[in-house]
Chains A and B, each alone.
Chain A
Amino acid sequence: MNNCPVCEIPVAMPAAPRLSEILECGDCRSELEIVATDPLLLAVAPEVEEDWGE
């Protein structure tokens, strides 16, 4: 179990985590990014930029 880098609460991980996958902390709702898979490492995801979207 990896902890959220913001609130330090354990974050539920997907069964097959992928590099660059975005997760949401179930506690503080921070967007997190998987920045390494072996071993698993979480970091705060980049902030939304002006031209992001659909």
Chain B
Amino acid sequence: MTARTGAPVIALLASQLRADDKRLLEALERRRIGCEHADTRAFWGDPATPPHWRGVLNREIGQVRAAYAARTLELFGVPVVNSAEAIEVCGDKWRCTLALAGAGLPLPRTALGLTTESALAALDAIGYPAVIKPLTGSWGRLIAELPDRRTAESFLEYVADRSSPQARLAYLQELIDKPSRDIRAIVVGGELLGATYRIGPGLRTNVALGARTEACVETPEITKLATAAAAAVGADIAGVDLIESRDGRLLVLEVNHRVEFSGFQAAVGDRVDVAGRIVDHLVAMAVQW
């Protein structure tokens, strides 16, 4: 593949380079694909100036910047993975829930309260204990367990006092009685690369909070749910979180658009080259374009 202008053909868009981003750049370089790190902090676009890239791997860590950059690049038809639409859906837990529910996927019972009063009414319907999550954000930040109505009333006072209108909405979910683990499945181009357990005590089994990762045998059910969830949100590259309830159900929690895969890669070893698969998917899209 050659550039139209002699410039690098693939951009990795990110404000900083973390371990996974370096792996992706190395995978591009191993394939001798002309590539560059495009620093989002220096990125600007206008509707009259097409970019010189033929494909963009969107690894920007800030969801707002990632979505706006993708929207700008997509104006010119440049393949961007993940797309602005996928980032916007995955970056908003309620939009993600609606997309997953619309695809008929099994989910924990979930509701959105638009005010403190409606959130309390929703919690009465869901039952306690329940979980409240911010609509945006990641790594388990600001996720809290609500054991009873009294705690919910107190917590919702803090939510109502937040500065942005969106942050004052209450994303509420039944607390699933689960083993001390959840499942992270990675899907690229509609295909399941593999799955891992994320094991840790408590409600939040995020690797960022110290959960450890172990390989998980991919069952047909994991494959079916993970690929369907990625398709439902339109994500070419997806980190799908699944939980097992003690009564035997496998439920979809959410889909992440900017997958962190260091823990996953360590757990699955040489069986899957995550960075290589992501890069190959993007390059295939860029070649077709």
A residues near B (Cβ < 8 Å) are 18-22, 33, 45-46, 49-54
What is the chain B residue whose CB lies nearest that of A18? Answer: B17
Interface pair B62/A52, CB less than 8 Å apart: yes
Checking A20, A22, A54 against B39 with a beta-carbon cut-off of 8 angstroms, the contacting residue is A20
B72 within 8 A of A: no
Tell me which of A19, A22, A53 contacts B18 (CB under 8 A): A22
Cross-chain contact A18 with B91 (CB below 8 angstroms) = no
What secondary structure prevails in chain A residues at the interface with B? Answer: loop
Q: Is B256 an interface position by the 8 A CB rule? A: yes
Asked if B139 contacts A20 (CB within 8 A), the reply is no
Which of B15, B25, B258 touches A54 (beta carbons < 8 Å)?
A: B258
Q: A51-B137, A54-B256 are in contact. Are A18 and B61 (CB under 8 A)?
A: no
A13 to B193, CA, bound (A): 31
Point out the residues of chain B lying under 8 angstroms from A54, CB to CB. Answer: 138-139, 239, 256-260
Contacts of A46 in B (CB 8 A): 15-16
Query: Nearest A residue to B26 by beta-carbon distance?
Result: A16
Residue of A19, A22, A53 near B63 (CB, 8 A) is A53
Interchain CB contact under 8 A, A50 and B137: yes
Question: Does B14 sit at the interface, judged by CB under 8 A?
Answer: yes
Does B138 lie within 8 Å of A22, measured CB to CB? no
Q: Once the chains bind, are B63 and A21 in contact (CB under 8 Å)?
A: no
CB distance from B280 to the nearest CB of A (A): 21
